Amino acid sequence: MLGPLGLFMSSYFDQDYVHRELDYAPTPFVAERIELRGKWVEGQEPGADDEIHHLPVRAP
Confirm whether 32 is domain-assigned.
yes
> Could you tell me if residue 54 is inside a domain?
no
Does any domain span residue 49? no
Number of domains, the chain: 1
What is the pLDDT of the chain when averaged over all its residues?
81
Position 56 confidence tier, pLDDT thresholds 50, 70, 90: confident
Banded model confidence at residue 42, pLDDT cuts 50, 70, 90: very high
Note the pLDDT tens digit of each residue in 5-34: 777 777 777 788 888 888 888 788 888 888
Between CA 46 and CA 49 the distance in angstroms is 8
Residue 24 lies in a domain: yes
Of the listed ranges 3-7, 33-37, 38-42, 46-50, the least confidently predicted one is: 3-7
Three-class SS of residue 51? Answer: coil
Q: Please tell me the total number of residues recorded for the chain in this structure.
A: 60
The answer to whether position 34 is within a domain reads yes
Residue 2 lies in a domain: no
Tell whether the torsion through CA atoms of 8, 13, 14 and 16 is positive or negative: positive
In-domain check, residue 56: no
Does any domain span residue 30?
Answer: yes
Rounded Cα distance, 36 and 8, in Å: 27
Q: Which domain holds residue 16?
A: 12-41
